[in-house]
Homo-oligomer: A and B are copies of this chain.
Amino acid sequence: MRLAPLLLALAIALPAAAAQPTQISDAALATAAQLRETALKDDTGWKVTESLTTEVGPRLAGSEADARAVAWAKAKFEQLGFDKVWTEPVTFPKWERRSEHAQVLGPHSQALVLTALGGSPAGTVEGQVVRFANLDSLAKAAPGSLDGKIAFIDYRMARAQDGHGYGMGSRVRGAGPSAAIRAGAAAYLMRSAGTDNHRVAHTGITRFDEGLAPIPSAALSNPDADQLARLLALDPSTRVRVALDCGWNGEYTSQNVIGEITGSSRPDEIVLIGGHLDSWDAGTGAIDDAAGIGISMAAAKLIGDLPRHPARTIRVVAFANEEQGLHGGFAYAEAHGAELARHAIVSESDFGAGRIYAFDAGNIADDARDAVAKIAAALKPLGIEWTPGQGSPESDVGPFAGAGAAWGWLGHDGSEYFDLHHTADDTLDKIDPQALAQNVAAYAVFTYLAAQADGGFGSSPEQAGSRRRGLGR
């Protein structure tokens, strides 16, 4: 919605894609193959990921650590020898988490592990818990039927390599609170959108529909959701106290931090890769998304170390505040919309550090399809299949892809991603250094070939409207 005027301006200002088919030379493929082997043995990605998760640690958007993360990213780009490093402001409402507790009341008194959803207001509610198996059943609850009660959606998300179980999992998080309010509930609980069975709850942003008065909203860890469900089966009148101290508190201006490896012959054209710099606060944001920062910084750094830079500029963006609504991605799209067609292709890594198993691209012009096929072939030795129609632009490049930028997708195996996502357990030890090196190799190959290709991929405001993934990925 907010992009519409921008798109109109772009549609008038920019030329259509070139008529000449896009070429990738044998020399470029040979360099990419070398790069792939170098990356598999290189530990830059690991070191960057280790550095961010250790030295900054958790870095909730708008927190004291947000500023430290920005300073860290600038310094890291400089240490790695990027040609240009700068920041661009990203302003957003600031949400704070101060404390969170829950307790079963009465004869089975015991604490429950939960975490406030991002965007939840503060509040202490004691009430009878009413369990719903899924979002639909809560959405059908009659207005007033939950007056003064606590709505609890006990939906268990499914494990999948491509993470598709998160589709419903994140809807339960995003739409559940408003459905609860409509039925009169005083607080909202959900089973975490996660596939693990540890006592670490999964946070994530939620929202409240306009006109509704927000209620305290939180996610129980999976074992705690099991426990609450058992207690409700024993006694449907089971009461719980939910006490959250959290909420919105003014605005904050963070930064997208950007580093470039300057192109050797077409420096004004850009291949954009990146990750997001912010994390949720309980873990150290290793898989979400220090890994994406490490992968993209390392891939670009290895390309920068080549005897000759590729034709185009490699731009790595460490996006601000992805978690609370793609703020960095929207800010980038607004600031750079006029240059959309100069972005040959864009790709973010924001799905952990599992081995990349699939490749796809979108908003691709017909005359660039052979070039995409060549990139796919160059990725194949890494165990990556070309899976047309399976991918999508990840998180912060979504707004730009939605505005028409060609996008690449390097799909991480997400089978274990939602064991850790948005929890205290998202820490460095969960990353396999060999898988991370494979990730860097894949990004290096993709990025180099896209940057060295003779001809574009189809980025154009005419492509506007391609599908995007939701918020809080």
Q: Which A positions have Cβ atoms within 8 angstroms of B? A: 50, 54-58, 64-65, 68, 104, 107-111, 113, 197-200, 222-223, 226-227, 230-231, 234, 282-284, 423-425, 427-430
How far apart sit A302 and B337, CA to CA, in the bound complex (Å)?
Answer: 74
> Across the interface, do B200 and A199 meet the contact criterion of CB distance under 8 Å?
yes
Closest chain B residue to A59 by CB distance? Answer: B110
New A-B contacts (20) at CB < 8 Å, excluding given A54-B231, A113-B424, A223-B429: A50-B230, A54-B108, A54-B227, A54-B230, A55-B107, A55-B234, A57-B108, A57-B110, A58-B110, A58-B111, A65-B109, A68-B107, A199-B283, A199-B423, A199-B424, A199-B427, A222-B429, A223-B425, A226-B427, A226-B429
Shortest C-beta distance, A287 to chain B (Å), equals 13
Question: Bound complex: CA of A284 vs CA of B104, how far in Å?
Answer: 13
Question: Contact: B227 with A427, CB < 8 Å?
Answer: yes
CA distance A226 to B425 in the complex (A): 13
- Identify A234's interface contact among B54, B56, B111, B428, CB under 8 A: B54
- List, in ascending order, chain B residues with CB within 8 A of A427's CB: 197, 199, 223, 226-227
Q: Nearest 6 pairs between A and B by C-beta?
A: A57-B110, A199-B424, A223-B427, A54-B230, A197-B429, A198-B198
Number of copies: 2
Q: How many Å from the CB of A96 to the closest CB on chain B?
A: 15
A and B contact pairs by CB, cutoff 8 A, 14 listed: A54-B234, A55-B234, A58-B111, A64-B109, A65-B109, A68-B107, A197-B430, A199-B200, A199-B423, A199-B425, A200-B200, A226-B427, A226-B429, A227-B284
Given A54-B234, A111-B58, A226-B429, does the pair A198, B197 have CB atoms closer than 8 Å? no
Chain B residues with Cβ under 8 A from A111's Cβ? 58
Assembly CA distance A9 to B110 (angstroms): 45
Chain B hits for A284, CB < 8 A = 110, 227
Distance (Å) between the CB of A282 and the closest chain B CB? 8
Nearest-CB residue, chain B, relative to A54: B230
Q: Which residues of B contact A64 (CB under 8 A)?
A: 109
Distance (whole angstroms) from the CB of A140 to the closest CB of chain B: 29
